[in-house]
Amino acid sequence: MKKVLNFINGEWCESTTGKYTSVWNPATGEVLAEVTQSSKEDVDRAVEAAKSAQKSWRLVPAPERAEILYEVAYLLKQRKEELAQILTSEMGKVIDEGRGEVQEAIDMAFYMAGEGRRMFGDTVPSELRNKFAMSVRVPVGVAGLITPWNFPIAIASWKSLPALVTGNAIVWKPATETPILAAEFVRIYEEAGLPKGLINLVHGSGSVVGNAIVEHPGIDLISFTGSNEVGREINGRAGALLKRTSLEMGGKNAITVLEDADVDLAVEGILWGAFGTSGQRCTATSRVLVHEKVKEELEGKLLERIGELKLGNGLDETVKVGPVINRSSLERIAEYVKIGREEGAKLLAGGDVATGEELENGNFFSPTIFTDVKPGMRIAMEEIFGPVVSIIPITSLEEAVEINNSVEFGLSSAIYTKNVDRAFEAMRDLDTGIVYVNAGTTGAEIHLPFGGTKGTGNGHRDSGVASLDVYTEWKSIYVDYSGKLQRAQIDNY
């Protein structure tokens, strides 16, 4: 059986615990590998390695650090298909989406490599003569990365690449469900020539490894993507230690369809947003706010198309919807469907664990649509993280905006309309970190900030130039070449 190991100080090694757990293929139930289960001591060793490696890494010129990132980009590109296959086997999304996700990491690698020659600060005119004023970015130190299974390489790339190009070292705990791809990504860093100790991979549970990372005094910042519950806990613990934390924690994203929308286009956006990655995206479409004048048409068209969504093993190119990650997820989704029914929502399609010969060993849930959902129902407020979407009728853009903004999350929203005035109003008023016009709620590109408002995060962003803010401190520098004491705000007035 394949064994997945930790990577600490440039060595692949087993945890001191000697314990392993299994990695499952969620489509087939097959065991893919055994992964080492680490202890606090493994984290201690990883932090020591990271701290010591970072001391010299911070002095390497950023364009030179970036050379390694370009190499990472080329290697990811070369191995795209192989990585996509691993991704799909390990977490289930269909292979096309797996390829798309690896592409997202490739894009991020090229983009962040480019930052090695930008990383702009400001130069500003000093208020005093013969004095120079500027700001530069400096690394924070050691970054603790805690990443989810739903985008196992894209999100890891959003965090590790900016951390490294800005001169930090990393201790990384990937999700327990997706350690194989994490190890492959680290292998690429190794092959690209990243000096030892700069990326350390420690596999294991959130309660042991995650907590040890969050609380370790040698780790200066935490970047986390995952559930709201875990994010809050991390924020509490890390906050007490005055550690910087960047959190991204999900959504309850809505597509608004106005009466003047291209309904066919909206149908495409809804199916892709709600059922792509089996609804297990932070950006998944889980509410549709449809104008009552086009509600019937939209529902009819959704029902016509939903049958085309073939379920199965994502490695089969004809499959459109893969499994959900595990049994407990399947149970949680089924529980939400039960709640929706009890709340009085009308089940339009799906609603059950999917069965069939080829599905029986995997975790499959039928694409599910509820309609006549009230905005305050639990299925319309809570993140389900599965292939379930709720249709809520509306009568105006104002009402849609209010419902859109009424949930605790604020990641992504979308509007379908042909009216440019309403589109701009929506762009202004939808209270989410990402807004789409005439496109669904998923499909973020890496050169813009990714993240959200309210319960989705804590003000930080992944990807884009904004991600540099997570991994750097600003240093303001004044150089006085006047040869005398010049008192700011005093001698010039």
Q: Are 7 and 294 in contact (CB under 8 A)?
A: no
20 near ligand UN1, rule: CB under 6 A: no
Tell me how far apart the alpha carbons of residues 423 and 352 are, in angstroms, rounded to a whole number. Answer: 36
Contacts 24+ apart (CB under 8 A), 239-242: 241/215, 241/217
- Both structure tokens of 121: 């600060």
283 near ligand UN1, rule: CB under 6 A: yes
256 near ligand UN1, rule: CB under 6 A: no
Look-up: residue for tokens 């009819």? 300
- Both structure tokens of 328: 């407990």
Coil, strand or helix: which one is 248?
A: strand
Q: Per DSSP, what are the bridge partners of residue 223?
A: 145, 246
Q: Which residues neighbour 490 within 8 Å (Cβ) at sequence distance 6 or greater?
A: none
Between 393 and 443, name the residue whose CB sits nearer to ligand UN1.
443
Tell me how far apart the alpha carbons of residues 174 and 186 are, in angstroms, rounded to a whole number. Answer: 11
Tell me how far apart the alpha carbons of residues 334 and 321 are, in angstroms, rounded to a whole number. Answer: 17
Look-up: residue for tokens 């949930």? 407
Residues 131-170 that bind ligand UN1 (CB under 6 A): 150-151, 154
Q: In the complex, what is the shortest distance from the CB of residue 280 to ligand UN1, in angstroms, rounded to a whole number? A: 8
Between 49 and 247, name the residue whose CB sits nearer to ligand UN1.
247
- Which position among 93, 216, 281, 460 is part of the footprint of ligand UN1 (CB under 6 A)? 281
Stretch of 138-146, 192-200, 349-357, 438-446 lying at the interface with ligand UN1 (CB under 6 A): 438-446
Catalytically active residues are: 248, 282
Quick count: other Cβ atoms within 10 Å of Cβ 261?
A: 22
- Which position among 374, 443, 453, 465 is part of the footprint of ligand UN1 (CB under 6 A)? 443
* End-to-end alpha carbon distance in the chain: 76
Size of the site for ligand UN1 (CB under 6 A): 10
282 near ligand UN1, rule: CB under 6 A: yes
**Would you give the distance in Å from CA 452 to the centre of its chain?**
11
Between 223 and 283, name the residue whose CB sits nearer to ligand UN1.
283
- The mark string for 190-229 relative to ligand UN1 (x by CB under 6 A, - otherwise) is ----------------------------------------
Between 97 and 299, name the residue whose CB sits nearer to ligand UN1.
97
456 near ligand UN1, rule: CB under 6 A: no
Stretch of 42-50, 275-283, 388-396, 470-478 lying at the interface with ligand UN1 (CB under 6 A): 275-283
**Would you give the distance in Å from CA 389 to the centre of its chain?**
20
- Which position among 380, 400, 444, 470 is part of the footprint of ligand UN1 (CB under 6 A)? 444
Quick count: other Cβ atoms within 10 Å of Cβ 443?
A: 16
In the chain, the amino acid numbered 147 is T
- What angle, 0 to 180 degrees and rounded to 10, lies between the N-to-C axes of helices 95-115 and 80-91? 120
Length of the chain: 493
Between 24 and 436, name the residue whose CB sits nearer to ligand UN1.
436
Q: In the complex, what is the shortest distance from the CB of residue 163 to ligand UN1, in angstroms, rounded to a whole number? A: 18
Quick count: other Cβ atoms within 10 Å of Cβ 266?
A: 28
Stretch of 26-34, 73-81, 133-141, 441-449 lying at the interface with ligand UN1 (CB under 6 A): 441-449
10 near ligand UN1, rule: CB under 6 A: no
461 near ligand UN1, rule: CB under 6 A: no
Tell me how far apart the alpha carbons of residues 384 and 387 are, in angstroms, rounded to a whole number. Answer: 8
275 near ligand UN1, rule: CB under 6 A: no
324 near ligand UN1, rule: CB under 6 A: no
104 near ligand UN1, rule: CB under 6 A: yes
CA neighbor of 194 nearest in space, from 106, 55, 69, 60 = 69
Stretch of 40-48, 117-125, 280-288, 292-300 lying at the interface with ligand UN1 (CB under 6 A): 280-288
Between 155 and 391, name the residue whose CB sits nearer to ligand UN1.
155
252 near ligand UN1, rule: CB under 6 A: no
Residues in contact with ligand UN1 by the rule CB under 6 A: 104, 150-151, 154, 281-283, 442-444
